[in-house]
Structure 1
């Protein structure tokens, strides 16, 4: 194993930030992540409503944070390899056709992870309940 990370998000605070125009959350989620969260919200909504995408986006935000923590654990003792502001949209939480989540990396993050850790596989678990969303990410060496 290269590293493990976990993160928890307070949904009340997250919703407030999500609702603010120009907040960081306008830039951190990909279109695919936003569509997936909206679809999950619709699928689990009370009949006659569109549902609340915030818990699903919060879990994805927690996964991005948990990925960075797991990556940081994997390079413990060495300096960070990318500035945090630039990474969020390059770490994408995707799902297969059975809605099992996975992390996909792009651009500078994909390159930096490969250069710092070599080939890796990632594993992610997402959850939300009540006022909180959480995620855990494990990065393992692929070789």
Structure 2
């Protein structure tokens, strides 16, 4: 049974700088419409999802590049817990690696956001 782990830490101020420079174009490239709606443009929440996308890419063993940011989607479950949805190449790669079960944990403060992801098959 394969086991993969990914983690990432994001400085909220750094993300704010990227959004200030690139604006809506950046947000549309990285986040799904549902993610943007759920986050309501809260920088710490967006940073936590950015960290989650990076952590998932690390667990897949690719890093961001071969997998598009929007192929990794973090939504809220019924208890407002983070729920991971993979699409496109990210989903195909997870299937190829035999990764069928995912767990994700997010946390953030005013200054930092962190994500930890585990994947098992």
Aligned to 2:28: 26
Equivalent positions of 1:1-143 (< 5 A) are: 1-21=2-22, 24-38=26-40, 53-72=42-61, 80=62, 84=65, 86-115=67-96, 117-141=97-121
Q: TM-score, normalised by structure 2?
A: 0.87
Residues 81-120 of structure 1 deviation map (CA, whole Å, 9 limit, x = unaligned): x9716421000001112111011011122112211x1241
Moved more, 83-92 or 24-33: 83-92
5+ unaligned residues in a row in structure 1: which ranges? 39-51, 73-79
Q: How many aligned positions are there?
A: 119
Superposition CA RMSD, Å: 2.0
How far off is 1:14 after superposition? 0.7
Query: SS of the residue aligned with 1:84?
Result: coil
Query: SS of the residue aligned with 2:22?
Result: coil
Q: TM-score, normalised by structure 1?
A: 0.75
5+ unaligned residues in a row in structure 2: which ranges? none
Moved over 6 A (4+): none
Aligned to 1:46: none
